[in-house]
Amino acid sequence: MSASLMVCRRLAGSSKTLHRCGNHGWNTKSVPSVIHPRYWRAMSTAFSGSFLDLNFQDEGIAVVAMKRGENTLHLKVMEEWHKALDAIEQTSECRALVTTGNEKFFCNGFDLQYMETIMDQERQLAQFVDEFNKLIVRLMLFPLPTVAAISSHAFAGGAILALAHDLRVMRRDRGWVCLNEILIDVTFPPVLLSFIRAKLAPGPLLTQAVLQAKRYTAEEAVKCGIVDKVVDQSQLVNTAAQMANEFLGKQGIKRETLHSFKKDLYSPVLQAYSGQV
């Protein structure tokens, strides 16, 4: 049995863009037919899925808001993620991506009830693991600056989702970041293990985070470099947008250049990844 399957086996416990999204079953709202920076303030929800909302806000910031319960991950959630990322990439005026959750959960990892329904179905297990790897690698290499606005708990796959962004800001008064896979007897597949090594500093931090499943509060997470800033909940998304703009700087960064640099920076992860980039 492949290492990827073991991960799941052991789980016991522009108007063109909007039209395209409409064809995929998203609920769209009207926006100016020609998207220009001066229109950003007038734009609200670009589309709304069952699990995610995509909003275009001031200064070309795309905000993906996970909105359903614990925001756990399964295939349909990841399908919506890819549709949102497609729409963002197809909107040339978009400058950055901010991801957030709700007041109780940023993302609580895999949907274990869903996983129990496919544990004995090898093809579906493999598809799930492949799709999760694909989403994490796509976010890691996304051609725009990405900031995770961690609104509350981020456990297991949810912590990995946050780490896939370039930067992270966390709500001050609520939530933990925790890689708790060892506590539920889940082994990381090679691509995710390489990813974690690329994102967390070697030494005590890796030992605490991976082998001890430490739960990091916002203040602890910023001290050890897991997150970059801690703010009050009311300032979370605005701060994330500001961080994205600061990332770009006055001159900006071309999408192609940023994507290429990310591929070089995370080349060890890509060597372990068998999917398409």
Residue type, 1: M
pLDDT in tens, 162-189: 999 999 999 999 999 999 999 988 889 9
Query: Average model confidence (pLDDT) for the chain?
Result: 85
25 vs 212, which has greater pLDDT? 212
**pLDDT at site 123:** 84
100-106-109-112 Cα dihedral, nearest 10 degrees: -120
Per the DSSP assignment, residues forming a β-bridge with 65 are: 53, 100
Q: Where are the domains of the chain?
A: 3-272
Per the DSSP assignment, residues forming a β-bridge with 61 are: 57, 96
CATH topology of domain 3-272: 2-enoyl-CoA Hydratase; Chain A, domain 1 (3.90.226)
Helix residue ranges, H only, the chain = 3-9, 15-23, 75-89, 112-118, 122-140, 157-163, 190-199, 204-206, 218-223, 236-248, 255-265, 267-272
Residue type, 202: P
Does the pLDDT of residue 33 top 50, yes or no? no
| Average of per-residue pLDDT across 250-267 | 97
Output the six-digit token pair for 133.
């790897």
Is-contact 106 164, C-beta < 8 A? no
Measured at the CA of 222, the angle between CA 232 and CA 84, to 5 degrees, comes to 70
Give the pLDDT band of residue 112 (cuts 50, 70, 90): confident
